[in-house]
Structure 1
């Protein structure tokens, strides 16, 4: 999976036209010997409507994830009806640019249409009916991109936030505790060569870590291979600590799986939620005290963001033997979901490129970590 060709460090130069010049070291080149560096794409970028972002993606990244267009609701909105055009364009973009393409996500309790779990009368379907629908969906979607999409988030966010138990969802309620095994089995059958992942947020928390370890061990006991665990990196400026992140990274690697950081961003804004994470169901009403940088990010906060990214990528570089991929959740600050979560309309600054497609100070700090000898 990793490119082991010798890394040639290019001379650092200035910036022009809002992009990193070709003579400038890029993210994908800086970490070429270590792991893929990627981003999540929206359809405007894939279709070329956001040409500046598209160019930035081509320059900086060698793996891509689809932000929404391969989730069940967008790609399979009605029984027997699929909407493959956006996904086809996404995969074609990745192929044209020789990128490692990720599929996200096959089984999730969010963004799955109600009809999946109900009969024509609106009552819950039987286990047999739901299994048939799940297999048909996975077989159709994964099968369509067999040999093109290299890795799939098979199961997303199936562990409860508080206790680390299986999350109470329609999948668990109707199928029982083997719902995860069935999803992985169907995905492997549809494309035996694809890498298969479990993906979740707040995995630095001991309760969730133990829940994921229990889940993965149960799959392994059935002979089901989990290629990697995706740790969603929705972090803040100070929490979680590097030690907390590292503890889970090391614990997961002891399962014999690799670890990907799949949705990396750093929220610099005050958060009304008492929890760190990415529970999209948890939203709040607009309140100006949680949207404090509408005129721009103060230099003091910019420096904290820069140091935070440097520390996190130093950790990634340290554990590059078990990390295959780092994916930032968005290209520029303007693209980030954090502008609208947990409060809509905020001005957020969580990524490495600003709203003018310019690299932020954190970008150079990240590049520098690749050069540090550990």
Structure 2
């Protein structure tokens, strides 16, 4: 799944050039209508939670704080933000010797100006195709383990020193479990002596830097059929952390939930609710908190009709949140974008066979709230206090 679930940063950024095309049209043009709806963060805050979203630092025609329409959604609904790409190694580390902090600094400044917290994503995205090309080609020299450890710890200490006291929750490691339950391998993990060694050092370095921060392992295992081995691999990794005394506080559950097969009898798609609850039970039994870090709904198998599709997306999300909000360990919920036209899913393959845009987010292309927004609001209103 990973080779196609993100076609690369270039494709995500290129989406901005087509974000306002007619393919994203909504049946209702209600500019300003969102001003009368409930704030998702306000509802979450009343229950001791936070609601937020990913955001970019791109131009005014993208899912960026520079886009005044998009920024208004963030200000209305969000109490916490996360950079969609700007803290990843691909963006932050143009070469082994330098850092490009400017884009992320601008996101952080926007968040702080609007009294929003910010999450750090990510100190290590551990898949070879999502690391900068220079890192995969790097010459680790005659003592590769020492050089690999130096590269990793220098990166983490540099980032956490810069944002000390301003970022209190980090996805320290992102997506190191493969879908067959094995651990990913990269040039840096091979150099250091194995993936567990690399990942453990990342968390240990982050904890030494940030004794009081929330340190998160983040991954995309989910409740759809076909995720069984991935879930098992994540549980094994979490068990290993506890056995080795690695300082991991929480599991970030990306929650890119998907409707890959349409079931007309339910109007949505298949899910393994019982197995998913068992997975979550095992996670919290190991004393991990949980976060929803990247929520959206991939509607690729649903019929094209906007109204029916929006209802199905909302119903599928409602069922998911009914499960997730049963766990008091869940305190943060972040969408991976608030508006359909800027969603990374528009470039995620397979695309819809009818050529229509995916309707994955709480707001349509014209910034009108959708049934998904209403269902999220209802779920937060009825959630137990944390």
TM-score (norm 1): 0.82
Q: Does 1:372 align with 2:382?
A: yes
Contact 2:122 2:172 in 1 (8 A): yes
**In structure 1, C-alpha distance between the alignment counterparts of 2:169 and 2:63, rounded to whole Å:** 19
Distance 1:342 1:224 in 2: 36
What count of residue pairs does the alignment treat as equivalent?
333
1:203 Cα offset (Å): 4.2
- Segment drifting more, 220-229 vs 241-250: 241-250
Q: Is the counterpart of residue 226 in structure 1 residue 248 in structure 2?
A: yes
Give the one of 232, 243, 265 matched to 1:210: 232
Cα distance in 2, alignment partners of residues 84 and 188 from structure 1: 22
Match of 1:107 among 116, 120, 124: 124
- Give the equivalent residue in structure 1 for 2:200: 181
User: Secondary structure of the equivalent of 2:123?
Assistant: strand
Q: For residues 242 and 83 of structure 1, what CA distance do their matches in structure 2 show? A: 42
**The one of 31, 40, 43 aligned to 1:30:** 43
Deviation of 1:245 (Å): 3.1
Single out whichever of 27-36 and 356-365 deviates more from structure 2: 27-36
Task: Give the CA deviation at 1:57.
Answer: 0.1
The residue aligned with 2:263 is: none
Aligned to 2:164: 146
What is the aligned partner in structure 2 of residue 137 from structure 1? 155
SS in 1 for 2:358: coil
SS at match of 1:43: coil
Structure 1: gaps (5+ residues): 1-14, 272-291
User: Relative to structure 1, is the Cα distance of residues 115 and 371 closer, same or farther in structure 2, using a 3 angstrom cutoff?
Assistant: closer
RMSD of aligned alpha carbons: 2.5
Bigger CA drift: 210-219 or 54-63? 210-219
The C-alpha deviation readout for 1:126-156, integer Å capped at 9, x for no partner, is: 1211111111111111211011111111111
Q: Please give the secondary structure, in 2, of the residue aligned with 1:348.
A: coil
Paired residues of 1:339 and 1:346 also in contact (CA < 8 A): no
Question: C-alpha separation between the residues in 1 aligned to 2:123 and 2:63?
Answer: 21
Match of 1:61 in 2: 78
CA contact (8 A) 2:318 2:379 kept: yes
- CA deviations over 1:220-267 (Å, ceiling 9, x no partner): 233322111011111123243333432222221111011111111111
Counting helix residues as a fraction of each chain, which structure ranks higher?
2
Structure 1 residues 143-187: Cα deviation after superposition (integer angstroms, max 9, x where no partner): 11011111111111111102x121233343222131110111111
Whole-Å separation in 2 of the counterparts to 1:373 and 1:152? 25
Unaligned runs of 5+ in 2: 1-28, 260-268
Q: CA deviation at 1:100?
A: 2.5
Q: Give 3-state SS (helix, strand or coil) of 2:98's partner.
A: coil
CA contact (8 A) 2:55 2:65 kept: no
- Corresponding residue for 1:192? 211
One of 291, 296, 301 as aligned partner of 1:265: 296
Contact 1:310 1:366 in 2 (8 A): yes
Match of 2:220 among 195, 201, 218: 201
> Is contact 2:204-2:247 (8 Å) kept?
no
Residue by residue over 1:269-308, the C-alpha shift from the partner in whole angstroms, topping out at 9 and shown as x without a partner, is: 139xxxxxxxxxxxxxxxxxxxx74xxx432222211211
